[in-house]
Amino acid sequence: MLNPQARAIRLIEWLLLISALILFAVGTLLGDTFFLRLATEALIFGGLAMSVDLLLGIVGLLSLGQALYFGFGAYLSALILKEISPSFSLAISIVILCSALLGWIASFIALRSKGVYFALITFGLAQVAAKVVYNTRSLGASDGMMGVPILSIWTPFGSLDAANPGTFFLITLLTIGALYAILKYFLTTPMGSLWHAIRSNEDRLAYVGYKSKAPKQVAFVLATVVAAVSGALYPMLRGFVSPELMFFSVSGNAVVTVVLGGVGTLIGPIMGSVLLTSFKSVIGTWTSHHHIVIGLIFVIIVISAPKGLAGLLTEHFRKGASDE
Amino acid sequence: MNKSEAILKAINLSKRFGGLTAVDDISFEVAPLGVTSIIGPNGAGKSTLFNLLSGTFKPDSGSVFLKDQDLTRMNPEERLFAGMARSFQITNLFFDLSVIDNLRIASQVLEPKQYLYLPLSNSSMALARADELLVEFGLLDSRNQLAGALSHGQQRRLEIAVTLATKPKLLLLDEPTQGMSQGDTQETAELIQQLGSKITVLLIEHDVDLVMDLSKAVIVMAQGKKLAEGSPQDVRSNPLVQTAYFGEETA
């Protein structure tokens, strides 16, 4: 039998998948645009939160600048779609390759330090990059880039129309789902165990024969690719990118999402993103001060469920198991 | 002792921390198999010496040889591959991981590198080794418990088990019975004795009676220097050691 946390994760996976499919079916049937696009955005930012969680919850590294890689993916994808060809597979492949390279280079800078210094370096790198983009005329400077063309997606059954919100929602679901599956696969390998070991007691690792640098680098590169691929979906949904995507508010929001959903569960952050995005939208229609309401909700959740929503479920299953 | 016979050789090791010379020009040899112990009062420099032997610190001068291999410049993980493993005085485990995962991660390093990226089930050697140690150290019932949730005695046992995962030739044990109950100490002593019949054990210990029972050779340290070495009987009857260490204990 699965342990309580694995059961909580399994439940969230099914919950999210089933609600996604119901939303798709109902949304398509009713010709909805708003909710499908909102859910697509939730998944995209969920991907970013997942990459923060890989570093924070699995390896124990707090990144305060993950928006840098998200924004990198978004800008690169917008550039490819606009300048080369509006092809989904081309944009995603180039983003994967380039972000892996970027993550590898950035890892040498960021992983020089640990703890709070790692957090500050990642924060600083992102601030620098955001400022550079903000001031680069060829990238649209503070306006960003608009007019990203509508995507065409090649499949063996013919080209898909990504202008249809239902279609693009499914594509996003598949992409984020694939990223999640890849990260979950890594957790079943010895590499995944090394990440947990680093979080638990990094200095001990040398005495069982490992340098901690290489596993941390693998995780950092993976997190960069996950953030960048999530970012690459953004201009496909919105048709534009702006330098705000790299700002601290996006990085910070991703950390909040992770804490809300459940640190170290990977799927918790996706659920956290779905909830936060819906809150923002729903509460935003009532009041323009929605940040106050969301802030209060966040405080209440962190106090009553410090391990996030996934932690609540884990606790529920643990109690259930001990009652039996 | 014939020089080439020694498994571990420390040659003129020194380590200073600011104005304090923690280890002052120490040389000794450890013969293969059995238990050799380093004793000395608090602050004698035993732990620093251990850290020099295991690669935690690099010495300011002197060298460390395992058989004929110079380890002086090697990192702890390289020394592990050379055949030297160590335990820690303050229990040092992956506390948020299960007992079996602690053992498996320690065994994993013997597997080919590409296995790092394959599902765990491929690492059959590491899994088998971990299970073997689980049985050997009586931790089978705690297999899936978190290491942090074990009793102190169990944690100390797991600590030794982890160091044995790679089947080292030389095991450095830093106060393995520290903080243990009488019963656990006795059990651990027997365990160390058994280990000594298969591999070479170098032990730091506070408990002098335990050391005298277990060891075939004893090295006595005081104020960073080697005071005496020899068989337990020789050391006990050494007048220098009597005054410096045993003091009123034997009086």
- pLDDT over 60 (residue A240): yes
- Find all residues with CB under 8 Å of A68, minimum gap 6, and list them: A106, A122, A125, A126, A129, A130, A246, A251
Number of domains in chain A: 1
Chain B contacts in chain A segment 170-229 (CB below 8 A): 185-186, 188-191, 193-194, 196-197, 199-201, 203-211
Which of the four pLDDT bands, split at 50, 70 and 90, describes residue B70?
very high
Phi, psi of B218 (to 5 degrees): -130, 135
Domain ranges of chain B: 1-83+168-246, 93-167
- pLDDT over 80 (residue B246): no
Beta bridge partners of B98: B146
Please compute Rg for chain A using Cα positions.
20
Q: Which of A190, A201, A209 sits opposite B120 (nearest CB)?
A: A190
What is the average pLDDT value for chain B, to the nearest integer?
A: 88
Q: Do A190 and B101 touch (CB under 8 A)?
A: no
> What is the pLDDT, as a whole number, of residue B60?
94
> What is the pLDDT, as a whole number, of residue B3?
47
Chain A positions touching B166 (Cβ under 8 A) are: 208-209
> What is the pLDDT, as a whole number, of residue A323?
66
The residue among A297 and A45 whose pLDDT is bigger is A45
Its domain, for residue A171, covers 4-323
Distance from CA of B80 to the nearest CA of A (A): 6
Which of the four pLDDT bands, split at 50, 70 and 90, describes residue A219?
very high
> What is the pLDDT, as a whole number, of residue B248?
47
CATH label of the domain that carries residue A33: 1.10.3470
Reported as a single tens digit per residue, the pLDDT across A146-192 is: 888 888 777 776 677 777 888 899 999 999 999 999 999 999 999 99
Contact A96, A225 (CB under 8 A): yes
Q: Which of B77, B162, B163 sits opposite A211 (nearest CB)?
A: B77
Q: Do B93 and A188 touch (CB under 8 A)?
A: no
> What is the pLDDT, as a whole number, of residue B27?
93
Phi, psi of A135 (to 5 degrees): -110, 10
> What is the pLDDT, as a whole number, of residue B251?
37
> What is the pLDDT, as a whole number, of residue A294?
78
Distance from CA of A252 to the nearest CA of B (A): 27
d(CA A128, CA B121): 44
Quote the percentage of chain B above a pLDDT of 90. 51
> What is the pLDDT, as a whole number, of residue A297?
82
- Fold for the domain defined by B1-83+168-246: Rossmann fold (3.40.50)
Structure tokens belonging to residue B168:
């080292």
Structure tokens belonging to residue A267:
């799927």
- pLDDT over 70 (residue B227): yes
> What is the pLDDT, as a whole number, of residue A22?
94
- pLDDT over 80 (residue B249): no
Chain B positions touching A203 (Cβ under 8 A) are: 92
Q: How many other CB atoms sit within 10 Å of the CB of residue B1?
A: 9
Phi, psi of B174 (to 5 degrees): -100, 100
Q: How far is CA B229 from CA A311, B7, B217, in A?
A: 57, 17, 7
Quote the percentage of chain A above a pLDDT of 70. 98
Ordered DSSP codes for chain B = --GGG-SEEEEEEEEEETTEEEEEEEEEEE-SSEEEEEE-STTSSHHHHHHHHHTSS--SEEEEEETTEE-TT--HHHHHHHTEEE--SS----TTSBHHHHHHHHHHTTS-GGGGGS-GGG-HHHHHHHHHHHHHTT-GGGTTSBGGGS-HHHHHHHHHHHHHTT--SEEEEESTTTT--HHHHHHHHHHHHHHHTTSEEEEE-S-HHHHHHH-SEEEEEETTEEEEEE-HHHHHH-HHHIIIIIGGGT-
The residue among A313 and A48 whose pLDDT is bigger is A48
Reported as a single tens digit per residue, the pLDDT across B155-203 is: 988 999 999 998 999 999 998 888 888 888 888 888 899 899 999 999 9
What is the average pLDDT value for chain A, to the nearest integer?
A: 90
> What is the pLDDT, as a whole number, of residue A192?
95
Quote the percentage of chain B above a pLDDT of 70. 95
The residue among B184 and A263 whose pLDDT is bigger is A263
Reported as a single tens digit per residue, the pLDDT across A48-65 is: 999 999 999 999 999 999
- pLDDT over 90 (residue B210): no
Reported as a single tens digit per residue, the pLDDT across A113-146 is: 888 999 999 999 999 998 998 888 888 787 888 8
Which of the four pLDDT bands, split at 50, 70 and 90, describes residue A282?
confident
Pick from A177, A170, A174: nearest CA to A22: A170
ipTM score for this prediction: 0.83
Chain A positions touching B75 (Cβ under 8 A) are: 206, 211
